[in-house]
Structure 1
């Protein structure tokens, strides 16, 4: 489902489910495998799909915060994570990926070096800036940009990813999400 007309990158609050048909599903499964996610959990995610709740807000100083709560198949009590868009590294014990170091910011696509992370954004996303996430796991790195892309004539929440695996291999993927609710 497309994002509402009022949806902008300045408030991405909502509930989203991964749209496997529009996403690079094969790459996504390979990435999960290289992140150490077991076969049964990968199959459960593939079958049931991934859902994420995001609450986007600014604090009194105007700093953006994302509260992210994943709904992971087979995990009845997922642990949420907080992201502060200050490009400050924070360690997180993620329920799916284990111990990770993450930093997040808002950035103009033109400021990025990776062409994969720059491509496909709507004009309003380019103007506001994408949200960039840089996550380092035990043996891998995932860099994502989040924003709005027009896909099949509809505005969608999407993420461009450049993933570097344990053996130094690079995978480029696009993840597309259906907007479910605010």
Structure 2
């Protein structure tokens, strides 16, 4: 389902489900990240639901942040954490990957490269805060993931998309993830 028009990259609050018909396979990305074959198979056929809730700022100097919950059915690989969109590195532990370092920041139009959008580019007229760049690194596993969050129109519908570039040991894998809006947060 298309995202409501009032939802944008500044506030992705809502529940989102991965649309596998419009998305690329995540198999090459997961393989490069060292996820075991059986777990990759479970995840590739599971339902993936994301929930974001924008935190109200406590004052004008507080950076934007989102509470995040990822649910994978079946699988038991659920994750909860907080995205602070300020570019500062933070360490977290995720069930599939173990300890990771993550940072996220808004990008203006002139900061987004065609490589980050896998050649698609950014739609619309906005010039400021048109995307979120999320960078996750696993020192233990030796990989780096860059994910660009954007909204774009696909088949006439406004969609939340994530462009992923995974790199490890001189190799890379890419995948576009397209999400259906399934409603407000629980």
For the criterion TM > 0.5, the same-fold answer is yes
TM-score, normalised with respect to structure 1: 0.88
* Structure 1 residue 92: Cα displacement: 0.7
**Equivalent-residue separation in structure 1 for 2:109 and 2:35 (angstroms):** 30
Q: Deviations over 1:7-66 (max 9, x none)?
A: 1222101111111111111xx111112212222222222212311111123421341102
Aligned CA RMSD, in angstroms, stands at 1.8
Moved more, 100-109 or 115-124: 115-124
Q: Deviations over 1:104-157 (max 9, x none)?
A: 011113114x42225433315654321110111121111111010111111100
User: 1:171 aligned to 2:170?
Assistant: no
* Paired position in structure 1 for 2:150: 147
User: Structure 1: where are the runs of 5+ without partners?
Assistant: none
TM-score, normalised with respect to structure 2: 0.86
* Paired position in structure 2 for 1:84: 84
User: Structure 2: where are the runs of 5+ without partners?
Assistant: none
Q: 1:33 to 1:172 in 2, by over 3 A?
A: closer
Number of equivalences: 177
Q: After the TM superposition, which residues 1-182 of structure 1 pair with which residues of structure 2 at under 5 Å, given as runs? A: 1-25=1-25, 28-61=26-59, 62-72=62-72, 73-75=74-76, 78-112=78-112, 114-118=113-117, 119-123=120-124, 126-137=127-138, 138-165=141-168, 167-182=169-184
Contact 1:52 1:71 in 2 (8 A): yes
**Equivalent-residue separation in structure 2 for 1:49 and 1:153 (angstroms):** 24
**Equivalent-residue separation in structure 2 for 1:125 and 1:68 (angstroms):** 25
Higher helix share: 1
**Equivalent-residue separation in structure 1 for 2:79 and 2:23 (angstroms):** 25
